[in-house]
C-alpha cells in the first residue's frame, strides 16, 4: 500500500486532535482535583499550591489517554488494515517519542511521573515511547508501507508538531 496525498492532510489533523485530547485529559484531571488549570494546545498549566500527588495524577492523565489511543488504533490496524487508525497510532507514538526527547531539557509528563514514583527521569518516557514505536512499526508492516511513506509521515508529523507548539505560544 502507498499512502496518497489526502492521507497527509488528514494525518496533520490527527496530530491536532491527538494533542487536544491529550491536553484535555490533563485539564480534566486537574479540574477534577480542583487545581484551576489553564488549557493550551501543547500544555496545561496548574495553579500553584497543588500537592505532589495531584500533579502526578494530572501529569499521568494525558499519557494514559494517548497510550490507550495507540493501543486501540493498533488493534484496528491489525484487524482491518485501516490507514485512518494508523494515523492515530503513528501520532501517539511520534508525540510520546518527541516528548521523551524534550525531557533532556524539560521533563515531560512521564518523566515527572517517573520521578514522583521513584523510577527516575527516563524509565517511563523510554518505556512508553518504545512501546508505541513498536506498535507503529508493526502497524506499518501490516499495511505494507514503504520507505517513502515513512519519510512523508515523519516530515508531516514534524511539521504538525512544530505548528502545534508554535501556535501554543500565541494562545496561552
Whole-number pLDDT of residue 166: 87
Percent residues over pLDDT 90 in the chain: 83
pLDDT at 1 over 80: no
Percent residues over pLDDT 70 in the chain: 99
Find where cell 511513506 sits: 149
Count of residues for the chain? 172
Rounded to whole angstroms, the Cα distance separating 98 from 102 reads 6
Neighbours of 104 (CB within 10 A): 11
> Is the Cβ–Cβ distance between 30 and 37 less than 8 Å?
yes
Q: Which of 32-36, 107-111, 135-139 has the highest mean pLDDT?
A: 135-139
Whole-number pLDDT of residue 159: 95
> Do the strands 38-39 and 44-45 form a parallel or antiparallel pair, or are they unpaired?
antiparallel
Find where cell 514534524 sits: 158
Amino acid at each position: 500500500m502507498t499512502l496518497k496525498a489526502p492521507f497527509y492532510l488528514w494525518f496533520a489533523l490527527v496530530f491536532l486532535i491527538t494533542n487536544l485530547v491529550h491536553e484535555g485529559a490533563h485539564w480534566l484531571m486537574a479540574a477534577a482535583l480542583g487545581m484551576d488549570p489553564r488549557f493550551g494546545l501543547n500544555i496545561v498549566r496548574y495553579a500553584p499550591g497543588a500537592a505532589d500527588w495531584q500533579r502526578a495524577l494530572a501529569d499521568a492523565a494525558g499519557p494514559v489517554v494517548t497510550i490507550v489511543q495507540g493501543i486501540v488504533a493498533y488493534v484496528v490496524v491489525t484487524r482491518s488494515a485501516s490507514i485512518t487508525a494508523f494515523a492515530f497510532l503513528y501520532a501517539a507514538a511520534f508525540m510520546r517519542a518527541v516528548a521523551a526527547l524534550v525531557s533532556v531539557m524539560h521533563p515531560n509528563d512521564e518523566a515527572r511521573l517517573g520521578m514522583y514514583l521513584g523510577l527516575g527521569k527516563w524509565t517511563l518516557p523510554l518505556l512508553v515511547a518504545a512501546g508505541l514505536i513498536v506498535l507503529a512499526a508493526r502497524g506499518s508492516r501490516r499495511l505494507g508501507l514503504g520507505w517513502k511513506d515513512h519519510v512523508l509521515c515523519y516530515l508531516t508529523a514534524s511539521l504538525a508538531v512544530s505548528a502545534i507548539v508554535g501556535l501554543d505560544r500565541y494562545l496561552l
